[in-house]
Structure 1
């Protein structure tokens, strides 16, 4: 399992820890991180490209191979080990020294990068290929109609369930939260939990999902206020609190939600997890499992899945100071070279290409549960807003914990979140 990918998806879940909120736009603070570079031959121009350290074996060799194939410039790949890549990137951009010409960034450019003019508009670079990308993924890398990153590869969270266990209880895969609760209660035994979403009772990883699954967005359209202070959201949080207290929700397993072990070991009949676990789960249960989106909550609710995606950005003032050359390379690699995109998504773990039509060429997700999962991003995909800062996320997570675990009234608890969000959004809206 790739820890860096898990961090990105954890950030999308709204966990209130600094370690997983690196995509919220903070460009302050120093960091000392080692790096490895690989110079490659090419044309007369020079381009410096940055990647974070991927956990899957073979990725570094692959990106060096891609760079070497480019003939219009000499591309130097810098591989950045460690867990502080986004902090290192932010600090480097802020300093203006040693800035890479092309670099990957969590969910594409951060709000700070865009507002400070550190990245260039890539709308024309993508051009007519815009329609080939997953719309929710591309939307997350867009601000005010301008695209600031080209999606590279997509990861996601989803719900795994045992087909035979639900069939024995004469139940179908749940599409509503009410059905999820019913199924969890029906299949729970002394040895197996009904549903598992983390040893914290799911409060961390399912946080933002309670907003999306109840039919709301995190923020309003002009990014001045939260968009979920409505009774259906309060009802959704209350329903999850009741579920948490029902005994059908497994709250202590051998591993946490991001590890497939509880589901593989038979500790739970249903588990919220990541696409990265698909291969291990398929190896264990073969045809006896399925995947679904998080169920809709309430009459206005919608099914949802969080996704994570790194995007390729072009610096406004990179080391080589040749924006057009950098644009050309980014387009060549992440728009035109579909064979390399399939290789990047398919050969190192289990991921989804950012251009959905390429899914059929990816052996792990072109049939069965993998194919079902890949379709969910376009249909139900959600990601945190560019304006959902760490301060808002922390306030939201604290309020949710107080409601679910301490019994606080939802309306009162989230009134504090709304107050924090308004002040924070006033600060970051420029």
Structure 2
């Protein structure tokens, strides 16, 4: 499977740990003098945290960028395994907290004062960013975090297997269940949605015509359409046509490239590896429509760079972040397009991204444009964990969708009151 392996492929998009971020709570102030060479208030020593991307060359690239910066000595903590949050969040409470770190926009990080306001860095180039990327990082008119990459997630499929089974690309969730049944053989399962199915929980909500939260930060997922979608996923889960307990989870394309499944939910990041393994025998389609009021959907996840507002190196960290993620377009392009495929958040870079202009990459970009949804900044780790339980209890354990959604409502309401009153 090319340069990727099951042991080093880490989640490109939805690394979530409810307990980790919840533990931040009000967050005590973190000291900036970490004992690193040149550290303290001098601002000459900075530490940045990255999770271990699975694409070959990513660690070397990030360290190359940092080495090219002459404003400070930047050290990279490249955190391997599936425990990035478990390392990041506790570290933020200590004197060894990173000055700069990647994560996803989260209202709790902003409310706790953990991340710095970067509006002054972004304003001069704000119009060059995808407006959705700006909106997803904005609270009360201030912008927190700079998006590095946009990662559409959708279904990959094998056209040759569809032709052999005489099936068409499914437009509805019911059709996906039917297609998966016809594609399943003694050696190949019809579909793979991730080992615990949580990778498709937001697309399920969106495809049912609902949302996680509405614009007033109130519950928007508890609808008849979502309940029906959960019932349909339960039907697929128990059909025998779904690949369960794959050697690697959805972010790794190996189940698809090795022929274990005819359809797999994954991200655009995996496209080069998939194309190398399968050539032209690859297509993509969005999460199918759920119910009469629904519409097909694509999840646009991604990673953003944040500055630790509780450190003593805030100004130096902001200067470094501006240099790398605002000024250095060549590095931003390299990061988005040389190690897997990602949509650059900067319009000027995306418009010149020749690798995304034709063939399967162009199809992926079109799906993101036509059906893309960004996660809500108020949809926090604890809320995500609450809906993880919905998927476990309604789909894998056959609980009543309405009862399970009621239980999730209590968790989400409690979190909403903490954040918004």
Same fold (TM over 0.5): yes
Q: What is the CA-CA distance between 1:252 and the residue it aligns to?
A: 5.5
The residue that corresponds to 1:130 in the other structure is 126
1:118 lines up with 2:118 in the alignment: no
Q: What is the CA-CA distance between 1:195 and the residue it aligns to?
A: 1.6
Are the aligned partners of 2:121 and 2:322 in contact in 1 as well (CA < 8 Å)?
yes
The residue that corresponds to 1:285 in the other structure is 278
Going from structure 1 to structure 2, the CA distance change for 1:304 and 1:144 (only over 3 Å counts) comes to farther
The residue that corresponds to 1:15 in the other structure is none
Q: Work out which of the residue numbers 210, 214, 234 in structure 1 matches 2:208.
A: 214
Between the aligned partners of 2:356 and 2:15, the Cα distance in structure 1 is: 24
Are the aligned partners of 2:19 and 2:382 in contact in 1 as well (CA < 8 Å)?
no
Q: What is the CA-CA distance between 1:357 and the residue it aligns to?
A: 4.3
The residue that corresponds to 1:387 in the other structure is 378
- Listed one character per residue, the Cα deviations across residues 220-265 of structure 1 (whole Å, up to 9, x for unaligned) are 3232x42122211111112222233334333365554333233223
1:406 lines up with 2:397 in the alignment: yes
- Listed one character per residue, the Cα deviations across residues 158-201 of structure 1 (whole Å, up to 9, x for unaligned) are 2111112223445432333233223223333333322222345x
Are the aligned partners of 1:9 and 1:156 in contact in 2 as well (CA < 8 Å)?
no
Are the aligned partners of 1:104 and 1:310 in contact in 2 as well (CA < 8 Å)?
no
Between the aligned partners of 1:214 and 1:135, the Cα distance in structure 2 is: 25
Instruction: For structure 2, list consecutive stretches of 5 or more residues without a partner in the other structure.
Output: 29-33
1:347 lines up with 2:338 in the alignment: yes
Going from structure 1 to structure 2, the CA distance change for 1:121 and 1:228 (only over 3 Å counts) comes to same
Between the aligned partners of 1:57 and 1:256, the Cα distance in structure 2 is: 18
Instruction: For structure 1, list consecutive stretches of 5 or more residues without a partner in the other structure.
Output: 13-17
The residue that corresponds to 1:27 in the other structure is 24
Between the aligned partners of 2:37 and 2:362, the Cα distance in structure 1 is: 35
Q: Work out which of the residue numbers 226, 238, 241 in structure 1 matches 2:231.
A: 238
The residue that corresponds to 1:48 in the other structure is 46
Are the aligned partners of 1:25 and 1:113 in contact in 2 as well (CA < 8 Å)?
no
Q: What is the CA-CA distance between 1:213 and the residue it aligns to?
A: 1.6
Q: What is the CA-CA distance between 1:373 and the residue it aligns to?
A: 1.9
Q: Work out which of the residue numbers 224, 241, 249 in structure 2 matches 1:248.
A: 241
Are the aligned partners of 1:9 and 1:306 in contact in 2 as well (CA < 8 Å)?
no
Between the aligned partners of 2:229 and 2:370, the Cα distance in structure 1 is: 22
Going from structure 1 to structure 2, the CA distance change for 1:25 and 1:147 (only over 3 Å counts) comes to farther
The residue that corresponds to 2:309 in the other structure is 316
Between the aligned partners of 1:252 and 1:94, the Cα distance in structure 2 is: 35
TM-score (structure 1 length as normaliser):
0.81
Are the aligned partners of 1:92 and 1:98 in contact in 2 as well (CA < 8 Å)?
yes
Q: What is the CA-CA distance between 1:301 and the residue it aligns to?
A: 1.5
Q: What is the CA-CA distance between 1:294 and the residue it aligns to?
A: 1.3
Q: What is the CA-CA distance between 1:82 and the residue it aligns to?
A: 4.1
TM-score (structure 2 length as normaliser):
0.82
Are the aligned partners of 1:48 and 1:319 in contact in 2 as well (CA < 8 Å)?
no
Moved more, 367-376 or 143-152: 367-376
Going from structure 1 to structure 2, the CA distance change for 1:89 and 1:269 (only over 3 Å counts) comes to closer
SS in 2 for 1:353: coil
Q: What is the CA-CA distance between 1:371 and the residue it aligns to?
A: 2.5
Going from structure 1 to structure 2, the CA distance change for 1:143 and 1:370 (only over 3 Å counts) comes to same
Give the CA RMSD over aligned residues. Answer: 3.5
Going from structure 1 to structure 2, the CA distance change for 1:10 and 1:313 (only over 3 Å counts) comes to closer
1:300 lines up with 2:293 in the alignment: yes
Are the aligned partners of 2:167 and 2:179 in contact in 1 as well (CA < 8 Å)?
yes
The residue that corresponds to 1:74 in the other structure is 72
Q: What is the CA-CA distance between 1:298 and the residue it aligns to?
A: 1.6
